[in-house]
């Protein structure tokens, strides 16, 4: 038991928390942006897979790491555009379309991957994002290792959270997005186009999901393999509810889940006599518990999952 | 007088139905114009075309002499047209200021200027006498306050022409009177107002001029000073409308009897309704009417007391057993408790008595549809076929469906809660006639209403409901509006 508590003062645990949280932060922010505009995006799991593959492929083909992130964002945005066209102007079921996008994008990512890498070959690795060296800051004991020795995308994720929180709360565009999720008729009555706003939000949110997926291949595992997203997308969908559709709380939720995950990894080796599967389950169980505690007070965007048709009530 | 708005030859078709046909309308600066018509006459469609929600098939809209591009709300707003929708276009989870500011700034500004916006909103609210709290969440506001926010939204965008779609449908009478006072003040200040209504008294009191729409066409235009409510009613409906008159009838044996009933909202209620009699319960809403309705439709069993129907104890009966025992109901909120809007007319028509229309667990669709067709014919549901989705019907036709569904079973007891709320003249007359026919056929009817005219026209006896208690009954021949008013105020000793 002493070992288990000792782990908490270990800087590498806290550094791992930020690392594990990064793809979740991108994913949850992306899902949140879509939902604030009124569209549930269950395509997230597939879009993250697509982003992971596209980022990896770009770098594998000789591209720059940042070009890889950009390509991942564009591929995510394209998948998001399909989801948006099906659910917004056509008003189809957001569940069905989202799950369809997940199946389609995952399969397409795997297919493109197989065009390059044949079965049986071991997955080729790329040169990933390296932890930044911020000079003296990185040398500060404990804090330096936790906060100032992360890879660039991690800082990008934190900055995106701040930007989205500010944007939604303080800018005219953010207000228009929130209003579209609450009552698209009100948006139309004020002379704006709720359909365009929804499409834009879904495309932008999906781009973020793509970047989140790319972190997995470009900073965590250095190579692509199918099923590598491993339900992170679904976790993000749950985290949006946990966060009560607020970016600040979403960031917190992603960090909390990442903490559970990082801690259980270390507990697996530190505590003996308990099957490791118990620890593997723990983050999910704790997430469900947290969700139950928090979600009852959640304020759902009123028009979430309600298609908007002009001139109809 | 300068003309600010002109609609020229507007025509709009939805499929084969013409919602507007060649409508021409003019509005001057500082004028209040009423657009009068029954439900479905095309008033809302016309205003939606003006505001750009729909594009007209033919015709032109000109604001301040300039033609407005069709189908673009933004262009209408920029030209100075503001619309207050009947179902408010507000986001309930956001603040008043959020709702007002939306769309007034460029979407690409990095920051919304809230200080200036708040000052401007407070200034407008002050100038036009429309008090609001800019930081209150809309969900917390009363309907009257929400309507003020809607008007302020339009004023904030510099509206010179204000359109209000059935502005009093959701307001209590004193609130409605205050609204018209505000609109008058705005008109004196140089704004022009168009409001849609089907209520004659408010058109007469609130407007300078009235345009009457019927079946999508403009049938008349009058200055309110030169017309009478009777003339307008006739123009609106296209024929003379007279509400049916109650004839004397000797009531039969007691049919529904409640003794000392206590529930949440009812405090020791006793009443007796005899067969062939209408008992009117009058009162200001919120005094236990909803609880009484729930009790007698079997939705909430009482803590204390008994209810019998034709001598049998039904105190603990749920809705289904109540219906089997011969009760029928017209619920207060027809859309929430009366029909399922997404289902068809025939499905709603048989929903309460599915067992009568099914064999071995299967619904006999053909019989059910025939039943619905007969109901449509007998109760004059216009624009409906048995396969029509119910929510596409107007409020009046939905109400006729509910009334018809209850009455085709020849019920022994009928609960009618606010049966004509929100209906136009023609539909009110139809519902009244149906209730009186049921009474003459021997049903015991409980009429819960806020409209004194309605109680006086229909009920054989009346009781007032105040804070969950009932006054002693008064016979129709002894009742008048003054006496009922005192009873509703709880002044039972004075009467």
**B3-237 shares its CATH topology with B254-494:** yes
- DSSP 8-state symbol, B251: -
Helix (H) or strand (E) holding B462: strand B461-466
Span A71-96, pLDDT tens digits: 999 999 999 999 999 999 999 999 99
Quick check: B345 and B390 in contact, CB under 8 A? Answer: yes
The model's pTM: 0.81
Which pLDDT belongs to residue A50? 98
Give which of A39, A54, A44 is closest to A23, Cα–Cα.
A44
Which pLDDT belongs to residue B495? 55
Which pLDDT belongs to residue A247? 96
Collect all residues of chain B within an 8 Å Cβ-Cβ radius of residue A313: 87
CA distance A240 to A178: 15
Collect all residues of chain A within an 8 Å Cβ-Cβ radius of residue B73: 188-191
What mean pLDDT comes out for the span A292-313?
80
| B83 pLDDT higher than 90 | yes
Is B53 in contact with A188 (Cβ distance < 8 A)?
A: yes
Which pLDDT belongs to residue B435? 94
Collect all residues of chain A within an 8 Å Cβ-Cβ radius of residue B106: 172
pLDDT bracket for residue B187 (50, 70, 90): very high
| B330 pLDDT higher than 60 | yes
Give residue limits of the domains in chain B: 3-237, 254-494
Is B107 an 8 Å CB contact of chain A?
Answer: yes
Quick check: A27 and A212 in contact, CB under 8 A? Answer: yes
Which pLDDT belongs to residue A245? 94
Which pLDDT belongs to residue B1? 62
Span A237-269, pLDDT tens digits: 999 998 999 999 999 999 999 999 999 888 888
Give the fold, CATH level 3, of B254-494.
Rossmann fold (3.40.50)
Q: How far is CA A262 from CA A13, A21, A299, in A?
A: 6, 10, 30
Token duo for residue A62: 């000789």
Token duo for residue B402: 């509910």
Which pLDDT belongs to residue B284? 82
| A221 pLDDT higher than 90 | yes
Span B129-174, pLDDT tens digits: 899 999 999 998 888 899 999 999 999 999 999 999 989 877 777 7
The lowest-confidence range among A274-278, B382-386, B413-417 is: B382-386
Top-confidence residue, A298 or A208:
A208
Beta bridge partners of B277: B444
Token duo for residue A245: 């559709």
Give which of A30, A24, A130 is closest to A83, Cα–Cα.
A30
What mean pLDDT comes out for the span B354-380?
91
Which pLDDT belongs to residue B286? 80
Give the fold, CATH level 3, of B3-237.
Rossmann fold (3.40.50)
Which pLDDT belongs to residue B201? 84
Give which of B213, B208, B242, B241 is closest to B227, Cα–Cα.
B208
Quick check: B158 and B80 in contact, CB under 8 A? Answer: yes
Q: How far is CA A237 from CA A31, A41, A45, A120, in A?
A: 6, 8, 10, 34
Span B39-67, pLDDT tens digits: 778 888 899 999 998 899 999 999 999 99
Top-confidence residue, B198 or A101:
A101
CA distance B319 to B337: 12
Collect all residues of chain A within an 8 Å Cβ-Cβ radius of residue B74: 191-192
Is B70 an 8 Å CB contact of chain A?
Answer: no
Q: How far is A45 from chain B (nearest CA, A)?
A: 30
| B124 pLDDT higher than 90 | yes
| Top-ranked range on mean pLDDT: pick from A114-123, B85-94, B304-313 | B304-313
Collect all residues of chain A within an 8 Å Cβ-Cβ radius of residue B108: 172-173
**Which DSSP string corresponds to B252-273?**
-SEEEEEEEEEETTEEEEEEEE
Q: Pick from B73, B92, B112: which is nearest to A172 by CB?
A: B112
pLDDT bracket for residue A311 (50, 70, 90): low
Span A164-182, pLDDT tens digits: 999 999 999 999 999 999 9
| A313 pLDDT higher than 70 | no
Give which of A164, A169, A50 is closest to A107, Cα–Cα.
A50
Which pLDDT belongs to residue B331? 92
Which residues from A are below 8 Å from B when comparing CB atoms? 170-173, 175-176, 178-179, 182-183, 185-192, 299, 301-302, 310-311, 313
Which pLDDT belongs to residue B362? 92
Span B204-231, pLDDT tens digits: 989 999 999 998 999 999 999 999 988 9
What mean pLDDT comes out for the span B224-249?
86
Top-level class of domain A2-116+150-295: mainly alpha
Which pLDDT belongs to residue B441? 93
CA distance A283 to A232: 12
Location of structure tokens 């209620």: B269
| A133 pLDDT higher than 90 | no
CA distance B167 to B176: 8
**Which DSSP string corresponds to A134-198?**
-THHHHSTTHHHHHSS--HHHHHHHHHHHHHHHHHHHSHHHHHHHHHHH-HHHHHHTT--HHHHH
Taking residue A37's Cβ as centre, other Cβ atoms within 10 Å add up to 31
Residues 358-417 of B with CB under 8 A from A: none
Token duo for residue A79: 């998948």
Is B115 an 8 Å CB contact of chain A?
Answer: no
**Which DSSP string corresponds to B7-46?**
EEEEEEEETTEEEEEEEEEEEETT-EEEEE--TTSSHHHH
Quick check: B20 and B46 in contact, CB under 8 A? Answer: yes
Span B437-454, pLDDT tens digits: 999 999 999 999 988 889
Give residue limits of the domains in chain A: 2-116+150-295
CA A308 remoteness from chain centre: 26
Q: What is the pairing mode between strands B413-417 and B444-449?
A: parallel
Residue B103 Ramachandran class (φ > 0 left, ψ -120 to 50 alpha, else beta): left
Span B290-310, pLDDT tens digits: 999 999 999 999 999 999 999
Is B109 an 8 Å CB contact of chain A?
Answer: yes
Token duo for residue A150: 């992360």
């Amino acid at each position: 038991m002493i070992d288990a508590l000792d782990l908490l003062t270990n800087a590498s645990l806290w550094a791992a928390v930020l690392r594990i949280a990064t793809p979740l932060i991108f994913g949850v922010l992306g899902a949140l942006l879509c939902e604030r505009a009124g569209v549930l995006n269950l395509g997230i799991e597939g879009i993250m897979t697509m982003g992971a593959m596209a980022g990896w492929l770009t770098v594998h083909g000789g591209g720059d790491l940042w070009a890889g992130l950009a390509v991942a964002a564009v591929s995510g945005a394209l998948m998001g555009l399909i989801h948006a066209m099906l659910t917004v102007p056509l008003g189809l079921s957001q569940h069905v379309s989202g799950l369809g996008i997940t199946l389609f994008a995952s399969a397409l990512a795997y297919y493109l991957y197989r065009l390059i890498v044949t079965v049986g070959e071991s997955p080729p690795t790329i040169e990933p994002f390296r932890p930044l060296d911020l000079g003296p800051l990185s040398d500060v004991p404990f804090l330096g290792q936790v906060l100032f020795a992360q890879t660039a995308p991690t800082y990008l994720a934190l900055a995106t959270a701040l930007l989205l929180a500010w944007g939604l709360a303080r800018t005219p565009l953010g207000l228009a997005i929130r209003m579209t999720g609450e009552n698209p008729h009100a948006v139309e009555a004020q002379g704006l186009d709720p359909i365009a706003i929804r499409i834009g939000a879904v495309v932008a949110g999906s781009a973020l999901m793509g970047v989140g997926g790319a972190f997995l291949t470009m900073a965590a595992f250095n190579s692509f393999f199918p099923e590598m997203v491993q339900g992170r997308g679904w976790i993000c969908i749950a985290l949006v509810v946990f966060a009560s559709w607020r970016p600040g709380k979403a960031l917190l939720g992603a960090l909390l889940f990442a903490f559970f995950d990082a801690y259980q990894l270390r507990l697996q080796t530190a505590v003996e006599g308990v099957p490791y599967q118990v620890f593997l389950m723990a983050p999910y169980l704790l997430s469900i518990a947290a969700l139950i505690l928090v979600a009852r007070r959640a304020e759902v965007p009123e028009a979430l999952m309600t298609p908007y048709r002009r001139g109809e009530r | 007088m300068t003309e600010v708005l002109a609609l020229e030859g507007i025509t709009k078709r939805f499929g084969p139905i013409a919602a507007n046909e060649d409508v021409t309308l003019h509005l001057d600066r500082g004028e209040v114009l009423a657009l009068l018509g029954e439900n479905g006459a095309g008033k809302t469609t016309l205003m939606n075309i003006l505001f750009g929600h729909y594009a007209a098939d033919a015709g032109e809209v000109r604001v301040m002499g300039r033609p407005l591009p069709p189908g673009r709300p933004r262009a209408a707003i920029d030209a100075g047209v503001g619309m207050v929708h009947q179902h408010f276009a507000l986001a309930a989870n956001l603040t008043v200021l959020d709702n007002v500011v939306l769309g007034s700034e460029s979407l690409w500004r990095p920051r919304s200027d809230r200080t200036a916006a708040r000052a401007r909103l407070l200034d407008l609210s002050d100038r036009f006498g429309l008090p609001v709290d800019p930081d209150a969440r809309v969900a917390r506001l009363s309907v009257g306050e929400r309507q003020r926010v809607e008007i302020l939204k339009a004023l904030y965008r510099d509206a010179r022409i204000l359109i209000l779609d059935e502005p009093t449908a959701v307001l209590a009478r004193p609130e409605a009177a205050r609204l018209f006072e505000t609109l008058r003040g705005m008109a004196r200040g140089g704004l022009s107002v168009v409001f849609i209504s089907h209520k004659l008294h408010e058109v007469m009191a609130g407007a300078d001029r009235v345009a009457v729409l019927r079946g999508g066409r403009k049938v008349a235009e009058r200055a309110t000073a030169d017309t009478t409510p009777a003339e307008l009613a006739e123009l609106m409906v296209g024929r003379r409308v007279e509400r049916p008159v109650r004839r004397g009838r000797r009531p039969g044996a007691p049919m529904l009897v409640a003794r000392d009933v206590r529930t949440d909202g009812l405090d020791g209620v006793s009443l007796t309704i005899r067969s062939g009699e209408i008992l009117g319960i009058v009162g200001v809403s919120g005094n236990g009417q909803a609880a009484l309705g729930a009790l007698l439709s079997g939705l909430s069993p009482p803590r204390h007391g008994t209810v019998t129907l034709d001598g049998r104890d039904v105190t603990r009966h749920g809705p289904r057993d109540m219906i089997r025992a011969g009760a029928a109901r017209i619920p207060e909120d027809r859309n929430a408790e009366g029909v399922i809007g997404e289902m068809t007319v025939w499905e709603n028509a048989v929903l309460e008595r599915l067992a009568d229309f099914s064999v071995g667990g299967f619904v006999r669709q053909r019989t059910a549809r025939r039943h619905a067709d007969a109901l449509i014919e007998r109760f004059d549901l216009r624009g409906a076929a048995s396969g029509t989705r119910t929510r596409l019907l107007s409020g009046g036709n939905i109400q006729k469906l509910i009334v018809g569904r209850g009455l085709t079973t020849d019920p022994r007891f009928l609960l009618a809660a606010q049966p004509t709320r929100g209906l136009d003249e023609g539909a009110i007359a139809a519902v009244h006639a149906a209730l009186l026919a049921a009474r003459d056929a021997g049903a015991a009817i409980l009429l819960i209403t806020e409209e004194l005219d309605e109680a006086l026209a229909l009920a054989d006896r009346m009781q007032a409901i105040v804070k969950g208690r009932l006054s002693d009954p008064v016979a129709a021949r002894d009742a008048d509006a003054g006496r009922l008013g005192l009873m509703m105020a709880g002044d039972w000793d004075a009467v």
